[in-house]
Structure 1
Amino acid sequence: MKGQAIENFLAHHLGSDESIPEAVEIPVYEIKEPFWILKFDGFSTEGTVGAGVVIISPIGVKTSLSFNLDFPCTNNQAEYEALVIRLEILKDLEAKSVRLIGDSQLVLRQVFGEYKCTSLTFAPYFTSASQLADDFEEINFQYVPRHQNWEANELAQIAFGLRRLQGRTERDFTVP
């Protein structure tokens, strides 16, 4: 009895054939691969050089790294070192889209062609960074002031506090 009632209802309430669309247009959206985010900073003084980097995967996994560079170089060279090594890591991870965030206008703008690299000191770094940048499908940069790049800056300073003593690595921290 209930089945017959449903059948009768449907038979009397179906729309005419004209109300059924012949084609339905469904929008298609291109989904781009989310960006890997690379925050980097270098720190240099007369005796020690440090580099810090934060890598954030497209799904939000954050990796923080500090490196003590065991050769003398300027702040800008340390910035380039941080950038080049991290681009190599992202290349190995097969990242396709990368957003670079740093507080060195010189390094970022040289790599992206806004400034010319005329320094023989920076030329090898510039060449390496530019070649690595070409390996990504999409790469862009964002300059931020140092206080907004605090994570990478602190990592560079932690690396700066590392020093080699008789084959061991120790950290120098000042406790208030």
Structure 2
Amino acid sequence: MALALVITARKLRPYFLSHPVTVLTNSLLGRIMTHPDDSGRLVKWSVELGEYDIEYQPRKAIKAQALSDFLTEVATFGQEEVWRVFVDGSSGVGGSGVGGSGVGIILISLAQEKIEIAVKLDFQASNNEAEYEAVIAGIQRAREVGVSHIIIYSDSQLVVQQVNKTFCTREEKLIKYCKMIEELGASFNTWSIEQIPRKKNMEADALAKREAAGEVDSRESLMKRETVASIEAREPVLQENTWKAPIVKYLTQGNLPEDKGRARIIRR
């Protein structure tokens, strides 16, 4: 039961951080987790759960019909709920990357529950790249929450139209962004991306600009930091001084050494 609670807290971390949590159980779970003196593993779990506001209460009797109705509601809720994900990226002052870049994400459930997430981009990014990073971060955060159906809203016409394949792009970096978004979207039952006017995306826009300026308080929003672009983080780092380097270059770029004997060995 303790492991189940730990896994639940990890899966629903944004909720556990934002709200007090009441655990209903008739076992001795509350006493065990508050006085974990029997097992090193329980001590570790107790420390991990210590950052949340968790209260343990005895479970009251539930009539069979009430439990049946509850399960029916939960099943319908899980199938039909569509979360809205508002995203925006800010590339510093004047779009030049000066002052840093930031991403703002607002996740809203059908019940109007709201999760605000700010992501600091510790690398140089153009306006379009910051907007793409915002879409990717929004999809990733929604997946972490465990959502199955999402609609992403962005005020960037270029990003939305390129992801929807209405606009074409020949820039290699943006092609990689579109491909990554398509792959991430496949993990949901349904997903889509739509363009909205900037005035309807003010919350995500303000959050992104404040994060870029380093003004977001961790007490207000969940915060994350990325040191490299998301598309670069997926690519393996090639060490030039290893025996693998010329083989990888040949397979990925078609490059071969000028020495014919060496080139023949690599091709083989």
The aligned residue for residue 116 of structure 1 is 168
Q: State the 1:122 CA deviation.
A: 1.1
The aligned residue for residue 36 of structure 1 is 83
Aligned length: 134
Give the match's secondary structure for 1:162.
coil
Structure 2 unaligned segments of length 5 or more: list them: 1-75, 216-268
Matched, 1:93 2:145: yes
Aligned residues: percent identity?
A: 28
Q: Residues 19-52 of structure 1: CA distance to partner in whole angstroms, max 9, x if unpaired?
A: xxxxxxxxxxx87522111000011132121111
Q: State the 1:60 CA deviation.
A: 1.8
Could you tell me how far apart the structure 2 residues matched to 1:88 and 1:68 are?
15
Give the match's secondary structure for 1:122.
helix
Matched, 1:128 2:180: yes
Matched, 1:141 2:193: yes
Could you tell me how far apart the structure 2 residues matched to 1:160 and 1:130 are?
26
TM-score for both structures, normalised by structure 1: 0.70
Give the match's secondary structure for 1:59.
coil
The aligned residue for residue 152 of structure 1 is 204
Q: 1:102 pairs with 154, 177, 194, which one?
A: 154
Could you tell me how far apart the structure 2 residues matched to 1:105 and 1:42 are?
13
Q: State the 1:140 CA deviation.
A: 2.1
Could you tell me how far apart the structure 2 residues matched to 1:58 and 1:74 are?
33
Greater helix share, 1 or 2?
A: 2
Q: State the 1:83 CA deviation.
A: 0.9
Could you tell me how far apart the structure 1 residues matched to 2:110 and 2:168 are?
31
Could you tell me how far apart the structure 2 residues matched to 1:136 and 1:100 are?
12
The aligned residue for residue 134 of structure 2 is 82
Give the match's secondary structure for 1:41.
strand
Give the match's secondary structure for 2:80.
coil
Contact kept, 8 Å, 1:54 with 1:65, in 2: the verdict is yes
Could you tell me how far apart the structure 1 residues matched to 2:174 and 2:122 are?
18
Could you tell me how far apart the structure 2 residues matched to 1:40 and 1:80 are?
9
Greater strand share, 1 or 2?
A: 1
Q: State the 1:120 CA deviation.
A: 1.0
Aligned partner of 1:154: which letter?
A: A
Give the match's secondary structure for 1:65.
strand
Could you tell me how far apart the structure 2 residues matched to 1:56 and 1:140 are?
15
* Larger RCO, structures 1/2 (Cα 8 Å, 6+ apart): 1
Could you tell me how far apart the structure 1 residues matched to 2:137 and 2:193 are?
16
Change (3 A) 1:92 1:130: same
Give the match's secondary structure for 2:173.
coil
Structure 1 unaligned segments of length 5 or more: list them: 1-29, 164-176
Contact kept, 8 Å, 1:33 with 1:96, in 2: the verdict is no
Could you tell me how far apart the structure 2 residues matched to 1:92 and 1:49 are?
23
Q: 4+ residue stretches of structure 1 with deviation over 4 A?
A: none
